[in-house]
């Protein structure tokens, strides 16, 4: 599943890069200032006709104004981060199990066919809770203490599997605004170079350079906020699953105690 989403992310990245290349080949001049002027002419054309500027055209305009270099890196962070986040969300969705029904089925299997029948129920049920129960049943003949320790240890393994990839999402949350700030600093340096070349602190020169520089910061912050929302949602889902795992593990141990007494 993870390989599928990484493939989709790469495909989306290649498509986006192709769109950038085609946009740059449609008459965009080599100089960044000329690209900005052309984008502004498109916006003025829509404004003069009284039509609302389409969203994709407005985003394309801001992308060109911010500079394809840093804006492309920010978009790459968004694409890869979203691919990882969606993969985690689907993984956690498939990990959700009706633990109450699972415990009832395991208890019924124990009373009907013993440990082997309970193992069969756990093998046929997806999710980390069923895997934890199965590991406990494998060591049922070694005593309740061993079963309990096995459940605790394997619960930690399942937690690690659920949290897999979160560090990369956190990395992109940190990198995206950093790239935006870096683009802003470089844009301000270019603006001061333009002022030095012109020999005049013209408001148009300063405002144009600052506008281009700040767009990268806005893009980086927006990407970070989007990924942060998904990150917090994933954390909340993991917390809910971990609580469910702990509660069901306690009830499973109680079920095994009752079975051993019989």
Tell me how far CA of residue 125 lies from CA of 101, 121, 169, 191, 233, in angstroms: 11, 6, 29, 62, 25
Tokens of 4: 């599928």
Q: What is the pLDDT of residue 7?
A: 44
Q: What integer is the mean pLDDT of 220-243?
A: 93
Round to whole Å and give the CA distance between 85 and 93.
12
Tell me how far CA of residue 96 lies from CA of 90, 125, 128, 129, in angstroms: 10, 11, 8, 9
56 pLDDT band, cuts 50/70/90, is low
Q: What integer is the mean pLDDT of 199-225?
A: 76
CA triplet 145, 148, 153: central angle to 5 degrees? Answer: 125
Is the pTM for the entire model greater than 0.85?
no
Spatial contact of 67 and 216, defined as CB atoms under 8 Å apart: yes
Q: What is the pLDDT of residues 161-191, one digit of tens each?
A: 999 989 999 999 999 988 888 877 877 777 7
From 208, 212, 172, select the one nearest 88 (Cα to Cα).
172
From 184, 183, 180, 168, select the one nearest 227 (Cα to Cα).
168
Round to whole Å and give the CA distance between 200 and 69.
28
Q: What integer is the mean pLDDT of 91-100?
A: 89
Q: What is the pLDDT of residues 112-141, one digit of tens each?
A: 888 888 899 998 888 899 999 999 988 888
Q: What integer is the mean pLDDT of 229-235?
A: 95
Spatial contact of 249 and 154, defined as CB atoms under 8 Å apart: no
> What share of the chain has pLDDT > 70, as a percent?
68
Q: What is the pLDDT of residues 4-54, one digit of tens each?
A: 444 454 445 445 444 544 444 344 334 444 444 444 444 444 444 445 656
Q: What is the pLDDT of residue 226?
A: 94
Highest-confidence range of 83-87, 103-107, 142-146, by mean pLDDT? 83-87
Q: What is the pLDDT of residue 47?
A: 44
> What share of the chain has pLDDT > 90, as a percent?
24
Spatial contact of 42 and 26, defined as CB atoms under 8 Å apart: no
55 pLDDT band, cuts 50/70/90, is low
66: alpha, beta or left? (left if phi > 0; alpha if psi -120 to 50): alpha
């Amino acid at each position: 599943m993870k390989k599928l989403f990484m493939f989709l992310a790469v495909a989306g990245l290649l498509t986006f890069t192709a769109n950038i290349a085609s946009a740059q080949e449609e008459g965009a001049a080599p100089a960044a200032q000329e690209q900005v002027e052309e984008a502004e002419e498109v916006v003025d054309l829509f404004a003069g006709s009284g039509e609302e500027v389409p969203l994709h055209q407005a985003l394309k305009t801001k992308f060109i104004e911010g500079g394809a270099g840093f804006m492309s890196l920010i978009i790459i962070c968004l694409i890869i981060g979203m691919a990882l986040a969606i993969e985690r969300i689907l993984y956690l969705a498939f990990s959700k199990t009706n633990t109450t029904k699972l415990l009832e089925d395991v208890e019924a299997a124990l009373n009907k066919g013993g440990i082997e029948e309970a193992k069969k129920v756990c093998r046929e049920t997806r999710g980390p809770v069923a895997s934890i129960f199965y590991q406990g049943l494998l060591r049922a003949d070694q005593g309740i203490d061993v079963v309990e320790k096995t459940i605790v240890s394997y619960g930690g393994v399942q937690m690690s599997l659920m949290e897999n990839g979160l560090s990369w999402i956190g990395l992109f949350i940190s990198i995206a605004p950093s790239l935006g700030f870096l683009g802003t600093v470089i844009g301000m340096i270019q603006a001061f170079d333009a002022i030095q070349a012109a020999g005049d602190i013209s408001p148009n020169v300063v405002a144009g350079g600052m506008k281009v520089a700040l767009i990268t910061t806005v893009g980086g912050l927006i990407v970070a906020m989007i990924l942060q929302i998904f990150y917090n949602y994933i954390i909340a889902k993991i917390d809910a699953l971990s609580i469910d795992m702990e509660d069901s593990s306690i009830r499973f141990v109680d079920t095994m105690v009752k079975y051993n007494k019989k």
